[in-house]
Amino acid sequence: MPSAARLLEFLQVATVLGSVLTVLRLLTSGLFRRYRIFFAYFIFNVLYMTTFLVLARLKGLPGGDGSSSNLYFYVFYYSEPIIILFYILVVVELYSLVLERYKGLYTLGRWAMYGAVVIASTISLVSLLPKIAPATPEPSKRLMYEYAAERGVDFALVIFILLIVWFLSRYPVPLSQNVVVHTAIYSVFFLSNTLVLLVRTLFGYQSGDAVNLILSAISAVCVMAWWLLLSAKGEEVRIHEPQLRPESEERILQQLDLLNATLLKVSRK
Q: Tens digit of pLDDT for each residue in 208-237?
A: 667 778 888 999 999 999 999 999 999 887
Task: Look up the CATH number of the domain holding residue 29.
Answer: 1.20.1070
Neighbours of 86 (CB within 10 A): 18
CA distance 29 to 232: 5
pLDDT recorded at residue 17: 94
The parent domain of residue 66 ranges over 3-268
Largest CA distance in the chain: 71
Place 51 in a pLDDT band, splitting at 50, 70 and 90. very high
Instruction: Say which residues have a Cβ less than 8 Å from residue 3's Cβ, sequence separation at least 6.
Output: none
Cβ atoms of 182 and 230 closer than 8 Å = yes
Is 50's pLDDT higher than 80?
yes
- Least confident stretch, 48-62, 197-211, 212-226: 197-211
Instruction: Using alpha carbons, list the distances in angstroms from residue 218 to 187, 213, 225, 268.
Output: 12, 9, 10, 43
pLDDT recorded at residue 1: 47
Cβ atoms of 96 and 47 closer than 8 Å = no
User: Cis bond leading into 242, ω under 30°?
Assistant: yes
pTM of the predicted model as reported, rounded to 2 decimal places: 0.82
Query: How many domains is the chain partitioned into structurally?
Result: 1
- Higher-scoring residue by pLDDT: 99, 138: 99
CA distance 71 to 201: 24
pLDDT recorded at residue 224: 95
pLDDT recorded at residue 30: 93
Place 72 in a pLDDT band, splitting at 50, 70 and 90. confident
Neighbours of 124 (CB within 10 A): 20
The C-alpha angle with vertex 227 and arms to 157 and 237, in degrees rounded to 5, equals 85
Is 64's pLDDT higher than 80?
no
The C-alpha angle with vertex 171 and arms to 240 and 160, in degrees rounded to 5, equals 115
